[in-house]
């Protein structure tokens, strides 16, 4: 089976993109990062893509050029779209064209701490302000509402009494860098919506995250 052609949409630093590039670098990998698109010409993610010799494209800052985006995705024969730190709402026509084939990673346990304006440090500040003892990562299908589509996989990250938004964000990002490639890999192997157990098994094996999970339990 040819590798699943994946497009990554990113607005910023691109560390989740880097995790995907590293996870699917081998020619024998089930997925291939075939295109990186940003609404920010100076996004760090574009530099990472160029470094990995992956085609890049910059779209209008507001991200609302549906025809342009659909043409780009068709041109690169994209089978799965991944939003990784992409801060603009994807036009409804593009969501509809990729229904069930567009994922987003969010740095909290949805449906809490999500929605319009909930991104970056604001998410972690809201988690800390709420007193929640567990935060985490969510990978979900994208629909016409921010952070709303069907949840495919989640992983817990304990909130420590000494946490600041920065320290919590750093530990959540570590979990993102493992969960997102695991879900994309499962998607590629399953030819569509992942058999979730695959993702969980691959993920659960990670010692550091097992330790996190144990910490999460003891934090209760």
In whole angstroms, the minimum distance from the beta carbon of 141 to ligand GRF comes to: 15
Of the candidates 13, 76, 106, 177, the residue annotated as catalytic is: 106
**Interface with ligand GRF (CB under 6 A):** 10, 12-16, 84-85, 105-107, 119-120, 173, 176
In whole angstroms, the minimum distance from the beta carbon of 143 to ligand GRF comes to: 16
- List, edge to edge, every strand of the sheet that includes 31-38: 56-58, 31-38, 4-9, 80-83, 102-106, 134-141, 151-158
Number of Cβ within a 10 Å radius of residue 150: 10
Q: Which of 120, 204 has the CB closer to ligand GRF? A: 120
Q: Is 167 exposed, middle or buried (0-12, 13-18, 19+ CB in 10 A)?
A: middle
13 in catalytic set = no
Q: Which of 13, 189 has the CB closer to ligand GRF? A: 13
Instruction: Give me the residue label for tokens 């695959």.
Output: 198
Is 103 strand, coil or helix?
strand
* Residue number of the CB atom closest to ligand GRF: 85
Q: Which of 6, 10 has the CB closer to ligand GRF? A: 10
Q: Which of 74, 122 has the CB closer to ligand GRF? A: 122
Angle at 20 between CA 150 and CA 142, to 5 degrees: 20
In whole angstroms, the minimum distance from the beta carbon of 70 to ligand GRF comes to: 23
Among all residues, which ones are annotated catalytic? 106
């Amino acid at each position: 089976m040819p590798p699943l052609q994946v497009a990554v949409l990113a607005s910023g630093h691109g560390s989740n993109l880097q995790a995907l590039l590293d996870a699917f670098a081998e020619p024998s990998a089930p997925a291939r990062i075939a295109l990186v698109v940003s609404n920010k010409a100076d996004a760090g993610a574009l530099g990472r893509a160029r470094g990995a010799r992956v085609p890049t494209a910059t779209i209008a800052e507001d991200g609302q050029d549906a025809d342009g985006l659909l043409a780009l995705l068709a041109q690169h024969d994209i089978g799965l779209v991944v939003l990784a730190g992409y801060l603009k709402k994807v036009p409804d026509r593009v969501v509809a064209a990729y229904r069930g084939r567009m994922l987003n990673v969010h740095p909290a346990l949805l449906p809490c701490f999500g929605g319009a304006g909930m991104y970056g440090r604001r998410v972690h500040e809201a988690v800390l302000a709420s007193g929640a003892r567990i935060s985490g990562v969510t990978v979900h299908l994208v629909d016409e509402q921010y952070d709303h589509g069907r949840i495919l996989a989640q992983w817990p990250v304990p909130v420590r009494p000494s946490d600041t938004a920065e320290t919590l964000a750093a530990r959540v990002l570590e979990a993102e860098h493992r969960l997102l490639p695991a879900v994309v890999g499962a998607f590629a192997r399953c030819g569509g919506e992942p058999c979730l157990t695959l993702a969980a098994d691959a993920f659960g094996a990670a010692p550091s995250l097992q330790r996190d999970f144990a910490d999460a339990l003891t934090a209760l």
